[in-house]
Structure 1
Amino acid sequence: MLVLVLGLTAAGAYFARDWYGAAEEETGGPAGETLPLAEQPGSPTVELSPDATAHPLGESVRQLLQTYFDAINGRNFDRWQTTVTADRVAATSEQQWLNDYDSTQDGSILVYRIESAPRNTLRVQVGFTSKQDIAQAPADLQVECINWYLALPVTKQGGQWKIAEAEPGGKQVNKPC
């Protein structure tokens, strides 16, 4: 049994390295990393890497994320609700959401990879740049401009793809612009 667990752990580490290492190997990071601070966060248009474009759901994922980021950038809670799972909607009041995203502007959005996962779900590896008031930045990174790299879980709900809550302890990297 121990050999099986160790083997699965090693395989998981290998695939995690492959999953999270692909972003920098493929493109060198999101476009926002190369822009001067005055031009951050960059274009609000969601783009797909060649790898993500090749996935059969690439365009569907791109459209979902475009609506998601447009809702955040436009402070449109009702529109945001159409892009996330019912659990996320139930856990987020409009006032809390507006407080969280009051000054946020996201751009330089690039989907690196889309992978099918168990139970009719997807893992979407995305990088983007976010500018916000320092007071609304994460507690552990109090800066005006952040480059984010994360894996978004996407699941089918009511026949539509929706962005689920990221798993606690899931891979997420952020760094100052």
Structure 2
Amino acid sequence: MPAPPNAHRWLLPVLVVVVSLMVGGGLLARELYRLPDQQPDAILALPTSTARPPDQQPGPGTVELTPDAAAHPQHDAISQLLQTYFDSINNRDYDQWKTTVTRARIQAKSRAEWLKDYQSVKDGSILVYRIDTITAQDLRVLVGFTSVQDAASAPAELPGAACVQWKLSLPVTIEQGHWRVDSVAGYTTPEVARC
């Protein structure tokens, strides 16, 4: 016996609703169960609350990133920039340091002055917490690190401190097509604490 004419009229709308729900559910399930994007080039770390013993300060000189910092699209470039920046300080290599900073910073710090400022400094336990985009040409990088130096060379904020934990926001800008660390003075007040 043939179906009544009204039954065919409801079949198409019901079929459309059922198919739509199935497609929507499938897309939702795919998003919920999708594996997170991997960041194989970044060294991921989480902030640690355990202090290193004095004889193990300042810690390793490798730049590490929190998962938040590693999620930024420029994390590779910034990680490499900061690695070279800190390596130049630890190796007392002024020429290498000049490749990581803006012209304004180079002009503000002569080789002799730079070598004097960093003559006993060793930086380590370097962790990039965040990378924030300000404009297409400017970033702010929240970084923490530990610095050891002769007590006589301690920062003005902590006179006599041979080991200092720093946290500061570094302005990073594009200059001549490359990311460079810009001048910090006047822009931000670093957090400093004795180790």
Same fold (TM > 0.5): yes
Residue 167 of structure 1, CA deviation:
4.4
Q: Deviations over 1:28-61 (max 9, x none)?
A: 45xxx52101100000000011001111101110
Does 1:35 find its partner at 2:55? Answer: no
Does 1:154 find its partner at 2:188? Answer: no
Give, as a single letter, the amino acid of the residue that structure 2 aligns with 1:91.
A
Q: How many residues end up aligned between the 2 structures?
A: 149
Q: What are the equivalent positions in structure 2 for 1:1-177 lying under 5 Å apart?
A: 27-28=47-48, 34-118=51-135, 120-142=137-159, 143-168=161-186, 170-177=188-195
The separation in 2 between residues aligned to 1:171 and 1:123, in whole angstroms, is: 13
Give, as a single letter, the amino acid of the residue that structure 2 aligns with 1:154.
V
SS in 1 for 2:76: helix
Please list every run of 5 or more consecutive structure 1 residues that lacks an aligned counterpart in the other structure. Answer: 1-25
TM-score scaled by structure 1? 0.81
TM-score scaled by structure 2? 0.73
Residue 27 of structure 1, CA deviation:
2.5
1:4 alignment partner in structure 2: none
The separation in 1 between residues aligned to 2:185 and 2:148, in whole angstroms, is: 24
Q: Is the 8 A contact 2:157 2:192 kept in 1?
A: no
Residue 172 of structure 1, CA deviation:
1.2
Q: In proportion to residue count, which structure has more helix?
A: 1
SS in 1 for 2:55: helix
Q: What's the Cα RMSD here?
A: 1.3
SS in 1 for 2:60: coil
Give, as a single letter, the amino acid of the residue that structure 2 aligns with 1:148.
W
Larger-Rg structure: 2
Residue 140 of structure 1, CA deviation:
2.5
Give, as a single letter, the amino acid of the residue that structure 2 aligns with 1:120.
Q
Please list every run of 5 or more consecutive structure 2 residues that lacks an aligned counterpart in the other structure. Answer: 1-45
Identity %: 49
Cα 1:67/1:121, change in 2 over 3 Å: same
Residue 93 of structure 1, CA deviation:
0.5
The separation in 1 between residues aligned to 2:54 and 2:100, in whole angstroms, is: 29
Large movers: runs of 4+ above 2 Å: 26-29
Which one has more relative contact order, counting CA pairs under 8 Å at least 6 apart?
A: 1
